[in-house]
Amino acid sequence: MTITSHDNVPTTVLDGAVKDYSRDKVYVLTAIFLAVLTIIEVFTYAAPDFPVWADELLIPVLMILMAVKFFTIIYVFMHLKFDKPILTRIFYMGLVLAVLVYIAMLSTFRIWFDGQHG
């Protein structure tokens, strides 16, 4: 963390730019992108035999789609992309910690091997 106390940064980076709708366009496009991804997700259910996600690949595909959606929302809608990096770091601390810790915990339940846990 390199936070120096005297960065001359305005409170909100998004300030100013009065009557600037260009960002709105980005938002709409992002939403469309997200919608498309969601449609693909739904297709994994509607057409389970589609070669891309048949059998073992289903879960990886879903996880990737989920991750892309997840990060798109936090980066664009939640402005992490435009904001100070410290926010990203703080959020990642929680996120990564949660993912690691809970995966480790599920592993001790041997949940990844079918039918063994319980």
> In the range 66-85, which residues lie near another protein by CB under 8 A?
66, 69-70, 73-74, 76-79, 83-84
CB-CB contact of 34 with 69 (8 Å): yes
* Residue 45 binds another protein, judged by CB under 8 A: yes
CB-CB contact of 43 with 50 (8 Å): yes
Strand, coil or helix: what is 98?
helix
* Residue 33 binds another protein, judged by CB under 8 A: no
* Residue 3 binds another protein, judged by CB under 8 A: yes
51, 59, 81, 113: residue in contact with another protein (rule CB under 8 A): 59
CB-CB contact of 110 with 116 (8 Å): yes
Contact characters 95-114, another protein, x per CB under 8 A? x-xxxxxx-xxxxxxxx---
51, 57, 58, 81: residue in contact with another protein (rule CB under 8 A): 58
Residue 58 burial by Cβ neighbours in a 10 Å radius (0-12, 13-18, 19+) = middle
* Residue 24 binds another protein, judged by CB under 8 A: yes
